[in-house]
Amino acid sequence: MKLCSLLCLWAVTGLAAEANWETVRMGRLEYVTLDSFVKFYGFQKAAEVPVGRPFDLTSPAGVLTLTVDSREMKWRGARYWLNHSIRQQDDVTLVSRLDLGKTFEPLLRPNVETPKRPVQGVVVDPGHGGGDEGTRAARGLSEKTANLDVAKRLVRLLDDAGVPWVLTRAKDRYVDHADRSARASDHPAYIFVSIHFNEDYDRGTTGWETYCVSPQYGPSTSSGGSFVGDEDEVWPGNDFDHHNFLLAQAIHRSAVLAKSNAPSDRGLKKARFKVLRLAHSPGVLVEGGFLSNPQEASLLKTESYRQQVADWIFKGIMAYRKSQETIAGPSRLSVEPAEKVPASTPELRPVMNLETVPAFRPKENGTNRPVPSPQLTNALAPTNSVDGEVRRAVPVQPGKKAE
Ligand SMILES: [Zn+2]
């Protein structure tokens, strides 16, 4: 079927009914065209959209870098992973609707339609413990020890700032994943921050990763984009997709954009870690460096660097917390002071929120008959057809240990 016959115009319900979205279904996924994306979010149209190399979309708020057939993107200097690759068909560039709702809405309109969620405290979760050592550095530092050390440094910083906290473990003991999530669920007005360090078979791998739970129908970042069967499930953690993303982003940017000693940026990622998917509050899992890398392991053996890691997490938490203050909080997450935006900035128009406005209300089609309105759940639900992206997605580096 030709793309043009798949294209249809949808008027979006809500505050700016004049906004039209061009949508395209490919296999089990629905996409919106880059043209409508650019218009909606106030980006300048890219002069050229090459295949296989990154292209920039610019707006007064920042530069967004995308790549056709890749899930990798950059926004204002930090790296993120999309749920699904940017696609191109018949010279039309496409953005997945899942990413529209679950990546770009929180990224570009963090506080426009989703209510803020004031942070009353932090559940700090040092990963592993007891007989579960986690990963181990070549020269002896075990992950469980580093996790606990950084967690204790973090709660001291929270204490100084007057932010209440709970530790899921305060000493070297085993705590089940479900019990860790239960602590988060006991404190629904808190946020949940799980601290880990990483390993890879390739000892050269370094850097910082920040995870939030994958949204429904979104594959794990490390899956290479293929569906593995549990994407359809909705976990308690998915109630907070929007805030999970904002929290992860705040911590991630705090670390990888730090003015000094910033770790290399492996991106904001998504995965169904048990502690995240079961938590009844916004949650994040930080992988603060690779113990399998000799240089990073050496750094992490120093108190000063572990303090640095705790500081980055703390600053990210405080930036997120500030963004959720209900009285005149900042409209955009920023660890640095907010940038001055020129007066001519076209406002990022509040039009749609896929979490609360599921229906794309159809405009009349060429024959003047209404097109059936797809509900979000239907639009994202799998069909029996094979999705081309599953095969074409660019895999993320393998080797990340399953947690
Ligand atoms: Zn771990």
Q: Cα(131) to centroid of ligand 1, in Å?
A: 13
Q: How far is the CA of 208 from the centre of ligand 1 (A)?
A: 13
CA distances from 235 to 14, 215, 273, 277 (A): 28, 9, 11, 5
**End residue of a domain, out of 292, 323, 354:** 323
Q: Is residue 60 part of a domain?
A: yes
| Domain boundaries, position 44 | 3-113+339-392
Residue 329 included in any domain: no
Q: How far is the CA of 154 from the centre of ligand 1 (A)?
A: 17
If asked whether residues 49 and 129 sit together in one domain, one would say no
285 Cα–ligand 1 center, Å? 9
Q: Which residue has the tokens 């061009």?
A: 22
Owner of token pair 């530069």: 63
Whether the Cβ atoms of residue 98 and residue 218 lie closer than 8 Å to each other: yes
- Is residue 343 in some structural domain? yes
Distance 403 CA to ligand 1 centre (A): 6
pLDDT in tens, the chain (403 residues): 334 333 333 433 332 334 578 899 988 899 999 999 999 999 998 888 998 899 999 999 999 999 999 999 999 999 999 999 999 999 999 999 999 999 999 999 998 888 999 999 999 999 999 999 998 876 688 999 999 999 999 999 999 999 999 999 999 999 999 999 998 889 999 999 999 999 999 999 999 999 999 999 898 887 765 566 678 888 999 999 999 999 999 999 999 999 999 999 999 999 999 999 999 999 999 999 999 999 999 999 999 999 999 999 999 999 999 999 976 544 444 343 333 333 332 332 322 333 332 222 222 233 323 222 333 333 333 332 222 222 222 233 333 333 4
Handedness of CA 243, 248, 249, 251 (dihedral sign): positive
Only one residue has tokens 């007057």, namely 162
Q: How close is the Cα of 217 to the center of ligand 1, in Å?
A: 25
CA–centroid distance, 57 to ligand 1, in Å, is: 36
Report CA-CA distances (Å) from 1 to 9, 90, 203, 396: 17, 11, 47, 31
Among 323, 357, 377, the domain-final residue is: 323
Q: Determine the Cα–Cα distance for residues 160 and 154; give it in Å rounded to an integer.
A: 10
211 C-alpha to ligand 1 centroid (Å)? 12
What is the pLDDT at residue 1? Answer: 35
What is the tally of helices (H) and strands (E) in the chain? 12, 15
> How far away, in angstroms, is 51 Cα from ligand 1 center?
36
Q: Is residue 331 part of a domain?
A: no
From the CA of 350, how far away is ligand 1's center (Å)? 39
Q: What is the pLDDT of residue 11?
A: 33
At 138 the pLDDT is 66
Note whether residue 330 is domain-resident: no
Judgement on whether residues 235 and 299 belong to the same structural domain of the protein: yes
Q: For residue 23, is it within any domain?
A: yes
Task: Assess whether 185 and 266 both reside in one domain.
Answer: yes
Would you tell me how many other CB atoms lie within 10 Å of the CB of residue 194?
27
Contact 230, 272 (CB under 8 A): yes
pLDDT of residue 47: 83
We report the CATH number of the domain holding residue 187 as: 3.40.630.40
- Tell whether 137 and 225 lie within a shared domain: yes
Ligand 1 centroid to Cα of residue 126, in Å, is 9
The two tokens of residue 81 are: 């992973």
pLDDT computed for residue 229 by the predictor: 65
Q: Give me ligand 1 centre to Cα 12, in Å.
A: 43
Distance in Å, CA 323 to ligand 1 centroid: 28
pTM above 0.75, yes or no: yes
Give residue 135 CA to ligand 1 midpoint distance, Å.
7
Regarding whether 109 and 127 lie in a shared domain, the answer is no
Residues 6+ apart with CB under 8 A from 145: 172
* Same structural domain, 72 and 129: no
Could you tell me the CATH number of the domain that includes residue 36? Answer: 3.30.457.10
Number of domains in the chain: 2
- Centroid of ligand 1 to alpha carbon of 271 (angstroms): 13
C-alpha to C-alpha distance for 147 and 128, rounded to whole angstroms: 8
On whether both 345 and 260 belong to a single domain, the answer is no
Indicate the SS3 state at residue 20.
strand
Angle 369-374-377 (CA atoms, 0-180°, nearest 5)?
A: 170
Q: How far is the C-alpha of 149 from the C-alpha of 133, rounded, in Å?
A: 14
Longest dimension (CA), the chain: 72
Q: Are residues 197 and 299 in the same domain?
A: yes
DSSP 8-state code for residue 368: S
238 and 199 inside one domain = yes
Report phi then psi at 55, rounded to 5: -130, 150
Q: Which of 266, 293, 323 is the last residue of a domain?
A: 323
Looking at the domain assignment, is residue 333 inside a domain?
no
pLDDT value for 219: 86
Question: Is there a single domain that holds both residue 145 and residue 272?
Answer: yes
> What whole-number distance in Å separates Cα of residue 17 and Cα of residue 219?
32
d(Cα 126, Cα 145) in Å, to the nearest integer?
Answer: 9
Check whether residue 255 and residue 372 sit in a common domain. Answer: no
Q: How far is 335 from 316, CA to CA, in rounded Å?
A: 7
Cα of 148 vs centre of ligand 1, distance in Å, is 11
- Which helix (H) or strand (E) is 252 found in, with range? helix 241-256
- Record the tokens describing residue 180, joined without a space: 């860790």
Query: Is there a single domain that holds both residue 53 and residue 182?
Result: no
CA of 401 to the centre of ligand 1 (A): 8
Q: What is the pLDDT of residue 233?
A: 85
**Ligand 1 centroid, distance to 21 Cα (angstroms):** 41
Kindly state the helix (H) or strand (E) to which residue 59 belongs, with its residue range.
strand 55-59
Phi, psi of 297 (to 5 degrees): -65, -40
- Residue 237 forms part of a structural domain: yes
- 193 burial type by CB count under 10 A (0-12 exposed, 13-18 middle, 19+ buried): buried
